[in-house]
Structure 1
Amino acid sequence: MNIRKATIDEAGYLSELSFRSKAYWGYSEAFMEACREDLTILPEDILASIIFVLEDEKVIKGFVGLEIEDDSCLLSNLFIDPNEIGKGYGRQLWQHMLEVAKGLNAHSILIHSDPYAEDFYLAMGARRIGEIESTVFEGRKLPLLEIPI
């Protein structure tokens, strides 16, 4: 297993992986299409944020992204290939992300969580601090979580 920085030529693959990973939760086709723009990773995103991929046998199994915001970070992405969920890849990426955030002297990481992913983040030590409005669906509230560093 190897965790490394994403390269800009992987943007399309990471976009497709994030879309498949979100669809894992059984969202409707219309819901998923409405989310497509938010799930798209552009080469500029890879340059502007900190995105790491986890490879196993040279195949990308998942990725994590952080954005720096003053003395904290925002978890912008954490997606695992749906065929690989439950194999520990999410935990490995989570631990790597914490180490990166520590290295950046961040005091905390904020997470705008998908409702289905909230239990994973809580199990990893995050705590719910409120809700945040969805950027895709007006009136839809998403869990807002935080993990202190």
Structure 2
Amino acid sequence: MRVRPGRPSEAAELTALALRSKAHWGYDEAFIAACRDELAMAPADIGPRRTAVAEEDGRVLGFTTLEGRPPVGVLGMMFAEPDALGRGVGRLLFGHVVEEAGRIGLARFTIDADPNAEGFYLGMGAVRIGVTPSGSVPGRELPLLEFTLTSRRALAAGSNPPS
């Protein structure tokens, strides 16, 4: 498995992957439809959102975006194919985000986490700093997390976050 830059030609494929990944948590069709615009990737978004793809044998297993400018960024999206969960896709992509964040000079980045993914991010060294309104569902709040690049010491030390 490797991480590479996303390609504009993959925008529709990444959108479909994000929707499948979100649906994995048991959300109904109405909820997924409400999230569709927020989870959509356009070809013009791929580069500016620093999209990275986890790939194995030519198959896209997941992707992430890292947005913003120093000193603070945002892990905008991170999704894995449901049949690839537990195989290290998330850990690989998160490690890539941390390295990229350091490379571009971010001191920290925030994450508007799906409640089902909060444990993963906490295990990777993020901390909960509050809640944030959902961009898709009025009245819904999401865990607001923050990862500081000094937290990457814990990641490098081999902590075993949940997959």
TM-score in terms of structure 1 length: 0.97
The aligned counterpart of 2:17 is 17
| Residue identity in the other structure for 2:13 | Y
Corresponding residue number in structure 2 for 1:141: 141
Contact 2:67 2:75 in 1 (8 A): yes
Q: List 4+ stretches of structure 1 deviating above 3 A.
A: none
Deviation string, structure 1 residues 10-68 (Cα, Å, up to 9, x no partner): 00000000000000000011111111111111112113210000111111100010102
Provide Cα deviations, 1:104-131, integer angstroms capped at 9, x if missing partner.
1100010001111100000100000000
Moved more, 116-125 or 66-75: 66-75
CA distance in 1, matches of 2:61, 2:137: 28
Q: Following the alignment from structure 1 to structure 2, what is the Cα–Cα distance between the partners of residues 16 and 97?
A: 21
Instruction: Name the amino acid aligned to 2:148.
Output: P
Q: Alignment partner of 1:53: what SS?
A: strand
Shift of 1:69: 3.5
Higher strand share: 1
The alignment yields a C-alpha RMSD, in angstroms, of 0.8
Is 1:6 the counterpart of 2:21? The answer is no
Report SS of the residue matched to 1:49: coil
Q: Equivalent residue of 1:115, what SS?
A: coil
Structure 1 partner of 2:106: 106
Higher mean alpha-carbon deviation, 89-98 vs 66-75, is at 66-75
Kindly report which structure 2 residues correspond to 1:64-79, keeping only aligned pairs within 5 A, or say none.
64-79=64-79
C-alpha distance in structure 2 between counterparts of 1:147 and 1:11, whole Å: 27
Measured in 1, the distance between the counterparts of 2:70 and 2:2 equals 29
| Percent of matched pairs sharing the same residue | 42
1:70 Cα deviation from its structure 2 partner: 3.8
Counterpart of 2:78, as a letter, is L
The one-letter amino acid of 1:113's match is: A
Matched, 1:125 2:118: no
Structure-2 separation of matches of 1:2 and 1:35 = 28
- Which runs of no fewer than 5 residues in structure 1 stay unpaired? none
Counting only pairs closer than 5 Å after superposition, residues 22-101 of structure 1 correspond to structure 2 as 22-101=22-101
Q: What stretches of structure 2 of length at least 5 have no aligned partner?
A: 150-163
- Rounded Cα–Cα distance in structure 1 between residues aligned with 2:44 and 2:17: 17
SS at match of 2:86: coil
Aligned residues: 149
